[in-house]
Amino acid sequence: MTWVVVISVLVMIILSLARVHVIIAILTAGLIAGLMAGLNLVESITLLVEGMGGQSSAALSYILLGAFAAAISYTGITHLLVRYLIRVLTGKRTMLVLVIAGIASLSQNLVPVHIAFIPILIPPLLKLFDQMDLDRRAVATALTFGLKAPYVMIPAGFGLLFHETILKGMANNGVDISTNEIALALLIPGSGMIVGLLIAVFITYRKPKKADNQSLNSKEDELDPVVTFNGKHWLTIIAIIGALVMQLVTDNLIIGALTGLILMFAFLVVPFKKGDFIMTEGITMMGTIAFVMLIASGFGHVLSETGAVIALVEVSSDLLGDNKALIAVVLLLVGLLITMGIGSSFGTIPILAALYVPICIATGFSPMATAALIGTAGALGDAGSPASDSTLGPTSGLNADGKHHHIWDTCVPTFIHFNIPLFIFGWIAAMVL
C-alpha cells in the first residue's frame, strides 16, 4: 500500500514524458493505483468517476472564466494590449518575458481571470516570438510563475482562497493561526519561485532559439489594425472591476465570473445575439483543461479512498522518528507526489493538512512552520504536473500554432525551475520559523 502513490504517479509522469495524452496517462495511473490497492478494474473505474466531482466547481469556474475572457477579447481591448507590447518590446526578449510574467501575476489578484487570458493574449504574439528567436520555454516559465507565485505569497484574490484553505485545514486539525501568519510563512518558499524565474529568464533560456517553420493555423494575423480605445473599453474595464469585487466579497470564483459576463451583456458591450458564440468560445478555450482537472480529481480520490496517501505518510514518519530536518524533507516529497498526481494545489491542501498537522505537532514544528510545509507541499508539483492548470494554461496559448509540446516545453522546464527552489526554500522556512 505504501508504494501505491509513488508507483502510480511515476506511471503518469513516464507516460506523459513518452508523449501519451495527459488524459490517458492520468486514467492509466488511476487504474494502476486501484489495482495495486486490491480493487478490481470495475471498482477502480467506479471510484475514479465518483471522485471526478471534486473539481467540478473549478471546472465550471474555468469555463465561465473562458467565456468572460472571450467576451473581453470580443471588445478588442486585448488587441490594443498586444499591439502595445509589439510596439514597445520588439527586440527586447528578456523584457518581454518579464512583462508577460507580470501580466500573468495580475490574473491571480487584480483581474481574476486565472488562465483564461492566455489563449487570448499569447497566440497573437507567437509570430513576434519567432521573429525575435525567443525560446518559448522561457515564456511558459514566466506564465507559470504568474499563475502560481501570487497565490502562494499574496493573500488577495486566488491567494486569499489559498491561504484561507490552509487556515481552515489547520484549524480543523487543532492548530490556530492567522492569515497574516500564513502569508509571512509562505514568503520564504514564494521567494524561491522568484529565484527560479530569474534563472530561467537570465540563464537557462536567455540564448536565441530558432523556431520550427512548420506550424498550424494560429491567430497571429487576426488583429484588427483600426481598433482604438473607446467607450466600450471603459465599460469592459468596469465589468472586470465588478467581477473582481464580487469574487472578493463572496469568495466565490463562479459568482465573480458570472457577474463579469452579465455586466458585459447588460452594458451591451457584447450583443445578446452573440451569447451562444461567447459561451462556445469559452468552452472551446477552457473545456479540455476543465476535463483534465476532473480526471485528476478522480485520480486523487482513488489515492485518498484506498488509504495509499495515509500509509505513505505514516511509514515515512515512523522511519524518521523525531528528526525535524528529515521529516520536513519527506513531507515535502509526499506533497510533490500527491500534487503531481492531483494537479491542484487548492484540492491538495485539505488532504495534506489532515495528514501533516498531527505529525508536525508531535515533532514540535511551530504553527508558522507547519503552514509553510503545508503551503509549500501543496504548491509543489503544481508546476510541472501534466494535469495542472498552471501548465495546461500556458500550453493552450503557446501551442496555438503547433510548435510547443506540453510535456517537454512546459512541464519539464517549469518543474525544474520552480519545484526545486520551492522545495529548498520551503524546507528552509520549516527549519527557521
* pLDDT means over runs of 10, the chain (433 residues): 72 72 74 84 79 66 75 76 75 86 82 72 83 89 91 79 79 82 92 94 88 54 58 83 78 76 84 79 68 66 69 64 82 79 65 76 87 88 77 85 85 91 93 90
The pTM of this model reads 0.71
CB 144 within 8 A of CB 414: yes
- Picking from 415, 316, 332, 333, the residue whose alpha carbon sits closest to that of residue 369 is 332
Note the Cα 275 to chain centre separation in Å.
28
Structural domain that includes position 221? 4-432
The pLDDT value recorded for residue 316 is 60
Written as nine digits, the cell of 43 is: 471498482
Written as nine digits, the cell of 390 is: 498552471
The pLDDT value recorded for residue 318 is 65
The pLDDT value recorded for residue 21 is 64
Q: Which residue has the cell 447588460?
A: 266
The pLDDT value recorded for residue 108 is 74
Q: Which residue has the cell 489578484?
A: 109
The pLDDT value recorded for residue 323 is 78
The pLDDT value recorded for residue 417 is 92
The pLDDT value recorded for residue 385 is 78
- Round to whole Å and give the CA distance between 132 and 208: 8
CB 413 within 8 A of CB 209: no
SS3 content of the chain, % helix, strand, coil (to 5): 80, 0, 20
- Round to whole Å and give the CA distance between 24 and 274: 35
Residues 6+ apart with CB under 8 A from 321: none
Q: What is the DSSP letter of 402?
A: S
- Round to whole Å and give the CA distance between 307 and 113: 35
Give whole-number Cα distances, 309 to 37, 324, 334, 412, in Å.
11, 20, 8, 25
427 SS3 class: helix
- CB burial readout 319-337, b (16+ within 10 A) else e: ebeeeeeebbbbbbbbbbb
Alpha helix (H) residue ranges in 157-230 = 158-171, 179-199
Per the structure, the count of domains in the chain is: 1
Note the Cα 279 to chain centre separation in Å.
23
Note the Cα 167 to chain centre separation in Å.
20
